Amino acid sequence: MLSIDFIRDNLEKVKESCRQRGVNFDFDRFVKEDDQRRSIIQKTEDLRRQRNELSQNKKPDQDAITQGQQLKEAIKKAEAELREAEEKVNRFVAEVPNVLMPQVPAGTSEDDNVILRSWGAPPEFDFEFKSYLEIGEKLNLIDIPRAARMAGSRFNYLKNELVLIQFALLNLVYKTAQEFKFQPVIPPVMIKPELMESMGYKDLKENNIYFIEKDQLNLVGTSEQSIAAMYQGEILEELPHRFIGYSTCFRREAGSYGKDLKGILRVHQFDKAELFSFCRPEESAKEHELLISIEEKIMQSLELPYRVMLLCGGDLAKPSATTVDIETWLPSEGKYRETHSSSNCTDYQARGLNTRYRTEDGKLEYLHTLNGTALAMSRILAVILENYQQSDGTVAVPKVLQDYLGFKVIG
């Protein structure tokens, strides 16, 4: 989250950033409440100073004792007022999103995102091509009806060769990421709600986050969340600190009712390999470019046509200062669909988690955190099935995966 002092010192900048995101906050009320908080802090400190001065009298008379009791009660009352004032200000600060970077385009929705570049050409089929769901059901790779009977909508069984391809993809991802010294990690998929809030995921409904009430834990929507929280309250010495995490992810998808209800593109449970980096502030822009380049390297090795999108302010998540998506061609829909997302969250998450580093002059400063999708498995499996389908109903396996498998064709 942003600090109170940062918002006060950069009030117009924060206001403009919120305006570009299409969100409104009552900053006048915030300033008024923060002024009250500061006034109470001053009053509390003055009362404590008076009590300390009074306590230095080694032989207090009755008046001094009475004054001391009065000061004690006044301090107790002031501290209660301060707690209430701080709660008000902190609740406001927790809602304010990260400040956008200068390159973020204006806009309110995905329609205002900017195409940075494209790679590869969409396939041209000389036969009547099918959707990934048709292919998956025909070749006994995807089972939606049985999953629906078992758990309801937005669940699926992945089967047979598709499962093997998922693990081949994971091998490809780990091999590629380790070339750039990303440490492999399988993180927990449950996390304390207060840590989620400190990273900017306060509104659980808005962020489609599952909550286990009995255990007071959230299920992660991405391994970014549990990797970011790994070093809460710690000081990192060797930077950048890079991870490639793999986990099952859980999302309610409550805000997408009726959209991609069938299939495996938008589901409640999916597996994802995630790139994550802790770095110094002056290195984060370059680090972001590295994450994007790794995503593109993986996609190019799979020979899948994609385009790179710079997201507008209105399409960014609250912790992100800038986000770049990769959208991959999906023949059945005749358009590109999001398969990757990479964000620079600057010090927004590290500040909430109190994760810092030591500068050359010995000062402790907050790190920058960055995340990027290496591969969201269900989505990439869908685009592989469609882009690699053949006229005889089979599906070719991308060449880069064939060494990990014992077959070149599905079906």
Note the maximum CA span of the chain: 102
Look at residue 61 in the predicted model and tell me its pLDDT.
76
Model confidence band, residue 398 (pLDDT cutoffs 50, 70, 90) = very high
d(CA 259, CA 262): 8
Q: What is the pLDDT of residue 149?
A: 93
Question: Per-residue DSSP letters for 31-95?
Answer: HHHHHHHHHHHHHHHHHHHHHHHHHT-SS--HHHHHHHHHHHHHHHHHHHHHHHHHHHHHHHHHH
Give the CA angle between residues 2, 325, 169 to the nearest 5°.
115
Q: H-type helices in 106-204, by residue range?
A: 132-138, 145-151, 161-178, 193-198
Question: pLDDT band for position 305 (50/70/90)?
Answer: very high
- Give the domains, in start order, of the chain with CATH numbers: 4-95 (1.10.287.40), 110-410 (3.30.930.10)
pLDDT recorded at residue 216: 94
Find the catalytic residue in 19, 266, 307, 337: 266
3-state SS of the chain: helix, strand, coil percent to 5?
A: 45, 20, 35
The Cα 254–Cα 181 span in angstroms is 37
376 pLDDT band, cuts 50/70/90, is very high
The 10 Å Cβ neighbour count of residue 257 is: 8
Question: Is 307 one of the annotated active-site residues of the chain?
Answer: no
Mean pLDDT of 366-381: 97
Q: How confident is the model at residue 7 (pLDDT cuts 50, 70, 90)?
A: very high
Given a cut of 80, whether residue 257 has pLDDT beyond it is no
Report how far residue 384's alpha carbon sits from residue 377's, in angstroms, rounded to the nearest whole number. 10
Q: Is residue 358 flagged as an active site residue?
A: no
Considering the chain, what is the average pLDDT of its residues?
93
Which of 228, 229, 226 shows the shortest CA–CA distance to 250?
Answer: 226
The single residue of 341, 342, 343, 378 carrying the catalytic annotation is: 341
CA 79, CA 206: separation in Å to the nearest integer?
34
Share of the chain above pLDDT 70, in %: 96
Is 356 catalytic? The answer is: no
Percent of the chain surpassing pLDDT 90? 85
The residue from 21, 37, 356, 379 that is catalytic is 379
pLDDT digits (tens, 9 = 90+) for 306-332: 999 999 999 999 999 999 999 999 999
Going along 231-334, which residue ranges are E strands? 235-236, 241-250, 269-279, 306-310, 322-330
In this predicted model, what pLDDT tens digit does every residue of 113-136 receive, in sequence order?
A: 999 999 999 999 999 999 999 999
Question: Tens digits of per-residue pLDDT, 330-367?
Answer: 999 999 999 999 999 999 999 999 999 999 999 999 99
Q: What pLDDT is stored for residue 281 in this prediction?
A: 97
Catalytic residue flag (residue 251): yes
156-172 burial: b if 16+ Cβ within 10 Å, else e: bebeebbebbbebbbeb
205 pLDDT higher than 80: no
365 is catalytic: no
Identify the active-site residue in 37, 251, 351, 356.
Answer: 251
pLDDT of residue 26: 95
What is the C-alpha R_g of the chain?
Answer: 26
Query: Is 68 a residue whose pLDDT tops 90?
Result: no
| pLDDT on residue 396 | 98
